[in-house]
Structures are given as C-alpha cells and as structure tokens.
Structure 1
Amino acid sequence: MRLKSAIFVSALIRRAQVEGAYAVMVRRGAEDAGAIFVKVSRLDGTAALYGPAPQSAFDEASPSDRKFSELVAPGRPETDADARLVREMKFDPDLYVVEIEDRQGRHFLDIAAP
C-alpha cells in the first residue's frame, strides 16, 4: 500500500530539515494521490526538478514505492525548473510542489534508474 501524498510530503520536509536543509511545501495537491514535484535550489541561481518516475521504472518487488526522475538537471537556471512546474500545473492542478534549499543540492528522494 502506498503512503498518501500528504504524509509523504510531510516526511520529506521533515527529513530535509533534520539533515540541515530548508524545505517547504509551496503548493498543496490532492491529499491522497496528488503527484509530487520537488525543486532543489542550490541558492546560487541554479536548481534541479524531480517528478514522479514513469510506470516503467517500477518493478514487481516494490510496486508501491515512490520513485522520482530528474526533469530538470542540477545546475540549470532556476527559471528552467519554474517554467517546467508551470507546464505541469496546467496539465495537473492537483499536484504538490516541495522546494528544498540546499547548497549541496541534496534531494532526499529515491531516483529511478534511467
């Protein structure tokens, strides 16, 4: 059984804060199953963006895990991540957006293999 999106987001924010990063929910989505997007700002004008991994990234051993894929590569201008988020919000208005500010660029997510 998969965790509700609201619980996952709360846990992600807490984990980032425990590790010394600043994290905040910028947009609240559907509590049960809203898609989650995570923007990681390095505080130097660059950012990365992570979103739900495609269904093909899941295997039978862990079908309910949340995995993410890189949508905007680390080191890109922050405006690239913001523009991608605007496009995603037009497509799905029930999504969550979490922003993490961390000079090291840590995302605290499980990234699916490409």
Structure 2
Amino acid sequence: MRLKSAIWVSAFLRRCMVEGIFGAVVRKGSEEAGAVHVIVNHLDGTCHLFAPAPGEAHDEMGERRWIAEISPPQTPADAMALLDRRLRFDPDLWIVEVEDRKGMAGLSATA
C-alpha cells in the first residue's frame, strides 16, 4: 500500500526535524497523489532538486524512488524556476524545501 502524498510529506518533515534538519512545505499539492519535489538547500547558494523517478514510483521495499534533476552548483532560484514551469502542466505537485548543509536529507537518486 502506498502512502498518500500528504502523509509522506508530513512523515518526511518530521524525520528531518528529528535529525535537526529544518524543512517546510513551500507548496501544497494534491493530498492523495500529488507528485512530491524536494529541494535540499545546502545554505551555501547551491541545492539539489529531487523529483519522482520515471517509471515505477516505488522500489521493492516500498520506498519512493527519486532522480536528481538539479545538482550543485545550481541555486535554489534555478530549482524554483524549473518547478514554476512544471506547475503550468501539473498544478497538483508538492514542493518541499529542507536545509541540509552536509547531505541530502536522507534522499538518494536512482541510477
């Protein structure tokens, strides 16, 4: 069984908070099945943007699969510009931003 987007986002932000990583919902999408995009702001002017991986949305363990659409040296403004273009075609997507200087907030991209 797959989690609704709203429940996954809430659990992700709670896990980040426990690890000392600040995060917030920048844009709330469809509660049930909106695509979740995560901006990991490294607080040095660079970021990663993780988006749902194409194809199968979950791996064999039931974890969400991700692709890194933007990687350093791209900026959070670059990530938001890309997401603004996406919103024209998919108004149901979620945008979550977390601040993690040392890592990627526990997310990893699929190969």
Give the TM-score normalised by the residue count of structure 2: 0.88
Percent identity over the alignment is 48
User: Deviations for 1:10-52, whole angstroms, at most 9, x for unmatched residues?
Assistant: 0100111111110111111111100000001011111110000
Partner Cα distance (2:63, 2:33) in 1: 13
Match of 1:111? 109
Structural mapping, 1:11-50, within 5 Å: 11-50=11-50
By how many angstroms is 1:57 displaced? 7.2
5 Å-filtered alignment, 1:71-86, equals: 71-86=69-84
2:21–2:105 CA contact under 8 A, matched in 1: no
- Residues 21 and 100 of structure 2 are in contact (CA less than 8 Å); yes or no, is this contact kept in structure 1? yes
Kept in 1, the 8 Å contact 2:57–2:64? The answer is no
Whose strand fraction is larger, Structure 1's or Structure 2's?
A: 1
Q: Tell whether the 8 Å contact from 2:67 to 2:109 is kept in structure 1 after alignment.
A: yes
TM-score by length of 1: 0.86
Task: Specify the alignment match of 1:70 in structure 2.
Answer: 68
Task: Give the whole-Å Cα distance in 2 for the aligned partners of 1:47 and 1:82.
Answer: 11
Q: 1:54 maps to which residue?
A: 54
For 1:90 and 1:107, the matched residues in 2 are separated by 27
Distance in 2 between the 1:27 and 1:84 partners?
Answer: 14
* 4+ aligned runs moved over 3 Å, structure 1: 56-59
Query: Which amino acid in structure 1 is aligned with residue 11 of structure 2?
Result: A
Aligned length: 111
Distance 2:63 2:100 in 1: 25
**Higher deviation after alignment, 35-44 or 67-76:** 67-76
For 1:19 and 1:106, the matched residues in 2 are separated by 12
